[in-house]
Chain A
């Protein structure tokens, strides 16, 4: 109570602040437990072994992957978003939503497919050898195994985050800004680089940061492609060395990197702020590109879509068709995936809402909410699962029992609340504070304001948030791998188990099903965002 007395409004802190505090605690507990246990348990010989031989390598590999992923994401996301938002060219309406589709396919699934396409016995190299008569030793061919390959796969899987934020930012550019620039004789290129890009930079960085944190936390693709990132190292410390404490220490480094990313992102937002006129804004009128440029842009968008989605998914379908379906169970894992993702999204959504609303009430809640959600998101699923395991081992719950299911839902929520809080808070911030005050003056209490004003106003953001949560949880692998109750194989776990057992054909069906399950929500999200953009343009 001491601190509370120091602040000016004890009444508010106790109600909203306490709720936020509880939510933040729920979100942050697994990370904190994992880290604290890591630091207060001796790592012993294994720790010094890892520090002397592996640590630098893990960190370096992670940074290299992040670097290349950044380049590729910017390359994939920004030009496509720019042309889709402001120009008309053949196929624009299709690309507008189709470029979001890769969100449905997890990085590890893309890595199975792309590894199969590009490996030495795969269709591309076989064709190359057949056509040229060369032997495999006579030419160099880029290998997917390694940091650049992993970066490529992760960029394919995650660039839509940056594409979405960039597209929103470009569409929100005020008409005046662009017309003013045009009237001053600026070429389209100059408008892009000197007007649009600086204005959209914070948004692009926000999407990029989201994608990069996912990349840093990835386990499935990195382990499949044999890239020794920190995430893989964490798994290895736990598996090969049976040293959860060492794993937790490695996790701390990963979290540092993720917080570094967040810091850079905040710094990039800068003081300039975004262009926002609270009441009304108009999307600039699209200009039709001339024939040649138009076709060029169409080709570019097509290439991105082929690389990130169509090629890999087609390859999986091909392999699956070639070898026929196994006699494995698929319905239960499918339903399990849906159930878990659904339960997780509901909890994460409630937590995200609590955090976002808390943040609107006072600074203190905003701070703890943001830190907790950030820490959860920054921590890879493995670390959170590790924390949950530590907690489980203190309690009398069985890891194998249904308690693990609840823990898994909790871990999902802890991991992804930030991903849900982001669009929610964006939607809330679009509503001016005077709305809340107006509602208060009309006698609506806090709960009524939430139900009658905040939620409906934030509806579009809330829908986007829940869809993103659902899809991300559908794809979640490492935490599920460590925590799932035993009869609760999910599609992700099944795909992973088959793939690492070198049975790609068996892995294709669960892989395709995850993608298919995610595709529906992603298309929904896509249409919703596209429609929102259009109605905005009309108003």
Chain B
């Protein structure tokens, strides 16, 4: 097939897309204008030299990220083009795009998600450099395929009037029959639960992990439903005494402008259970990886470095309420509400590697 024939429909399509694109108001940022350019760039078989451009595939969906990209543009002059979608969609997309993928950088929340990109061969090793010096070593994948930018901790919000902290300071406690009818938790299909289970499998072995899942299912106050926020609300409303939640949902509720939400968070206490003596909390990450076929690797590395600067960190977590990994970075408002916790020494790759097994265990336990 000649190139012309191959390209023709694409050009027609590109013309259609341009014709259909709403005219971009001049006040809108370069990152949007660039979008059309990426599309036409994708339409040609050979990628043009992109110079000071960085193409980001992001699984985050925060309006504030736009401000972050713009700030990087202002400081470095590197233009950021970004596309947001669910991690799995990004993954399937990159698989299909193969070597022609325009992606330079992948941002995803959850180590399990990043591991999947690595597993599919869509990432490349980060170069040796100063990055390691700035961050705890655990945040860097063993094969240097991805690296954590910020931390998210899975914990428990409990009703202090009904529950003692000792009853929930270890994850295993939640399977205690004494807590029957006390636990609110979301569906097992959620990646937060899958990653949590992944760590349990690694630490305890599949049998004990299964026992834990069985025990929690027996202690549920209701069938799993809603998100983490809904579980905290369940505690506040008195339906249950224990809600399993990521820390930032609790923080966001506490900081919310809606009175009912902030009251709900304040009615509960957040705690980060451990996996037993001498272990830490379940600490997950939002991280970044360089795409296997990145054209703009230098810009990508520059962006990663920038994200570790106090300014970059602040913009990254300001709205999400995640924990910045650079100790010099300004912590987002409301983060001082969360308790101290022991950092984890668990390899982050584990979350992804055990994902399928984790789902099987949940299914086996009847955890919807």
**Chain A residues within 8 Å of B, Cβ to Cβ:** 46, 49, 53-54, 115, 119-121, 125-126, 129, 135-137, 143, 145-146, 225-226, 228, 236, 238-242, 244, 322-324, 326-329, 331-332, 335-336, 339, 343, 389, 392-393, 396-403, 405-406, 481-482, 484-487, 489, 497-498, 500-502, 505-506
Q: Is the CB of A226 within 8 A of B224?
A: yes
Q: Is the CB of A502 within 8 A of B39?
A: no
Partner of B42 from the list A125, A323, A389, A401 (CB cut-off 8 Å) is A401
Can you name 15 A-B residue pairings with CB atoms under 8 Å? A46-B356, A49-B363, A136-B239, A236-B189, A238-B88, A323-B258, A329-B63, A389-B92, A393-B96, A396-B6, A399-B97, A400-B93, A402-B17, A402-B43, A486-B84
CB proximity of B17 to chain A, nearest CB, Å: 4
Q: Which of B8-16, B133-141, B274-282, B323-331 contacts A (4 or more CB under 8 A)?
A: B8-16
Fill in one digit per residue for B67-91: 1 if any A CB lies within 8 Å of its CB, else 0: 0000000000000000111101101
CB proximity of A307 to chain B, nearest CB, Å: 21
Q: Known: A125-B237, A226-B225, A405-B13. Contact between A339 and B61, CB under 8 A?
A: no
Q: Is the CB of B35 within 8 A of A487?
A: yes
Q: Which residue of A lies closest to B109 (CB)?
A: A501
Partner of A487 from the list B39, B45, B64, B355 (CB cut-off 8 Å) is B39
Any chain A CB within 8 A of the CB of B126?
Answer: no
Q: Is the CB of A400 within 8 A of B83?
A: yes
Residues of B within 8 A of A236 (CB): 189
Q: Is the CB of B89 within 8 A of A482?
A: yes
How far does the alpha carbon of A46 sit from the alpha carbon of B363 in the complex, in Å? 13
CB proximity of B147 to chain A, nearest CB, Å: 23
Residues of A within 8 A of B116 (CB): 242
CB proximity of A354 to chain B, nearest CB, Å: 21
Q: Specify the main secondary structure of chain B where it touches its partner.
A: helix
Chain B 41-79 residues near chain A, CB threshold 8 A = 42-43, 45, 57, 61, 63-64, 66
Q: Is the CB of B239 within 8 A of A502?
A: no
How far does the alpha carbon of A324 sit from the alpha carbon of B256 in the complex, in Å? 11
Q: Which residue of A lies closest to B225 (CB)?
A: A145
Q: Is the CB of B88 within 8 A of A239?
A: yes
New A-B pairs, 12, CB < 8 Å, besides A115-B226, A487-B32? A49-B360, A121-B233, A129-B237, A143-B223, A238-B92, A240-B355, A242-B91, A398-B101, A402-B43, A403-B13, A485-B17, A497-B86
How far does the alpha carbon of A103 sit from the alpha carbon of B260 in the complex, in Å? 31
How far does the alpha carbon of A393 sit from the alpha carbon of B66 in the complex, in Å? 31
Q: Is the CB of B225 within 8 A of A485?
A: no
CB proximity of B198 to chain A, nearest CB, Å: 13
Q: Which residue of A lies closest to B82 (CB)?
A: A486
Q: Is the CB of B43 within 8 A of A401?
A: yes
Q: Which residue of A lies closest to B257 (CB)?
A: A323
Residues of A within 8 A of B337 (CB): none
Q: Which residue of A lies closest to B45 (CB)?
A: A396
How far does the alpha carbon of A240 sit from the alpha carbon of B198 in the complex, in Å? 14
How far does the alpha carbon of A125 sit from the alpha carbon of B230 in the complex, in Å? 14
Q: Which residue of B lies closest to A138 (CB)?
A: B238
CB proximity of A226 to chain B, nearest CB, Å: 5
CB proximity of B130 to chain A, nearest CB, Å: 32
Q: Is the CB of A402 within 8 A of B229?
A: no
Any chain A CB within 8 A of the CB of B318?
Answer: no
Q: Is the CB of B16 within 8 A of A406?
A: yes
How far does the alpha carbon of A53 sit from the alpha carbon of B38 in the complex, in Å? 44
Q: Is the CB of B14 within 8 A of A498?
A: no
CB proximity of B259 to chain A, nearest CB, Å: 9
How far does the alpha carbon of A155 sit from the alpha carbon of B231 in the complex, in Å? 27
How far does the alpha carbon of A53 sit from the alpha carbon of B188 in the complex, in Å? 14
Residues of A within 8 A of B355 (CB): 240
Q: Which residue of B lies closest to A119 (CB)?
A: B230
Residues of A within 8 A of B97 (CB): 398-400
How far does the alpha carbon of A323 sit from the alpha carbon of B252 in the complex, in Å? 13
CB proximity of B328 to chain A, nearest CB, Å: 27
Q: Which residue of A lies closest to B234 (CB)?
A: A120
Partner of B89 from the list A49, A326, A481 (CB cut-off 8 Å) is A481
How far does the alpha carbon of A236 sit from the alpha carbon of B226 in the complex, in Å? 17
How far does the alpha carbon of A402 sit from the alpha carbon of B226 in the complex, in Å? 35
Among A339, A402, A484, A502, the one with the most B-chain Cβ atoms within 10 Å of its Cβ is A402
Residues of B within 8 A of A121 (CB): 230, 233-234, 236-237, 260, 264
Q: Known: A240-B189, A402-B39. Contact between A120 and B233, CB under 8 A?
A: yes
How far does the alpha carbon of A322 sit from the alpha carbon of B262 in the complex, in Å? 13
Q: Is the CB of A119 within 8 A of B226?
A: yes
Residues of A within 8 A of B237 (CB): 120-121, 125-126, 129, 136
How far does the alpha carbon of A400 sit from the alpha carbon of B89 in the complex, in Å? 10
Q: Is the CB of A226 within 8 A of B368?
A: yes
Residues of A within 8 A of B89 (CB): 481-482
CB proximity of B190 to chain A, nearest CB, Å: 9
Q: Is the CB of B229 within 8 A of A502?
A: yes
Q: Known: A228-B368, A487-B35. Contact between A339 and B16, CB under 8 A?
A: no
Partner of A502 from the list B36, B66, B227 (CB cut-off 8 Å) is B227
How far does the alpha carbon of A136 sit from the alpha carbon of B222 in the complex, in Å? 12
Residues of B within 8 A of A336 (CB): 22
Q: Known: A120-B237, A240-B359. Contact between A406 and B13, CB under 8 A?
A: yes
Q: Shortest 7 CB-CB distances between A and B: which pairs?
A: A486-B83, A145-B225, A121-B233, A401-B42, A136-B239, A487-B35, A402-B17
Residues of A within 8 A of B4 (CB): none
How far does the alpha carbon of A401 sit from the alpha carbon of B194 in the complex, in Å? 32
Residues of B within 8 A of A505 (CB): 258
Q: Known: A400-B83, A402-B43. Contact between A392 and B368, CB under 8 A?
A: no
Any chain A CB within 8 A of the CB of B20?
Answer: yes
Among B64, B86, B93, B260, the one with the most A-chain Cβ atoms within 10 Å of its Cβ is B93
Q: Is the CB of B35 within 8 A of A339?
A: no
How far does the alpha carbon of A506 sit from the alpha carbon of B230 in the complex, in Å? 16
Q: Is the CB of B42 within 8 A of A502?
A: no
Q: Is the CB of A400 within 8 A of B223?
A: no
Q: Is the CB of B83 within 8 A of A487?
A: yes
Q: Which residue of B lies closest to A324 (CB)?
A: B257
CB proximity of A380 to chain B, nearest CB, Å: 17
How far does the alpha carbon of A225 sit from the alpha carbon of B225 in the complex, in Å? 7
Residues of B within 8 A of A331 (CB): 22
Q: Is the CB of B61 within 8 A of A53?
A: no
How far does the alpha carbon of A222 sit from the alpha carbon of B137 in the complex, in Å? 41
Residues of A within 8 A of B9 (CB): 403
CB proximity of B117 to chain A, nearest CB, Å: 11
Q: Is the CB of A498 within 8 A of B88?
A: no
Residues of A within 8 A of B233 (CB): 119-121
Q: Known: A119-B233, A120-B233, A136-B239. Contact between A489 and B84, CB under 8 A?
A: yes
Any chain A CB within 8 A of the CB of B322?
Answer: no
Among A121, A226, A406, the one with the most B-chain Cβ atoms within 10 Å of its Cβ is A121
Any chain A CB within 8 A of the CB of B115?
Answer: no
How far does the alpha carbon of A239 sit from the alpha carbon of B189 in the complex, in Å? 10
Residues of A within 8 A of B83 (CB): 400, 486-487
Q: Is the CB of A486 within 8 A of B85?
A: yes
Q: Is the CB of B39 within 8 A of A485?
A: yes
How far does the alpha carbon of A147 sit from the alpha carbon of B268 in the complex, in Å? 30
Fill in one digit per residue for B147-184: 1 if any A CB lies within 8 Å of its CB, else 0: 00000000000000000000000000000000001000
How far does the alpha carbon of A336 sit from the alpha carbon of B260 in the complex, in Å? 35
How far does the alpha carbon of A515 sit from the alpha carbon of B349 in the complex, in Å? 43
How far does the alpha carbon of A241 sit from the alpha carbon of B356 in the complex, in Å? 7
Chain B 214-251 residues near chain A, CB threshold 8 A = 221-230, 233-234, 236-239, 249
Residues of A within 8 A of B13 (CB): 401-403, 405-406
Q: Which residue of A lies closest to B184 (CB)?
A: A120
How far does the alpha carbon of A137 sit from the alpha carbon of B234 in the complex, in Å? 10
Q: Is the CB of A146 within 8 A of B84?
A: no
Q: Known: A241-B356, A328-B63. Contact between A402 and B10, CB under 8 A?
A: yes
Chain B 272-320 residues near chain A, CB threshold 8 A = none
Residues of B within 8 A of A125 (CB): 237
Residues of A within 8 A of B61 (CB): 497-498, 501
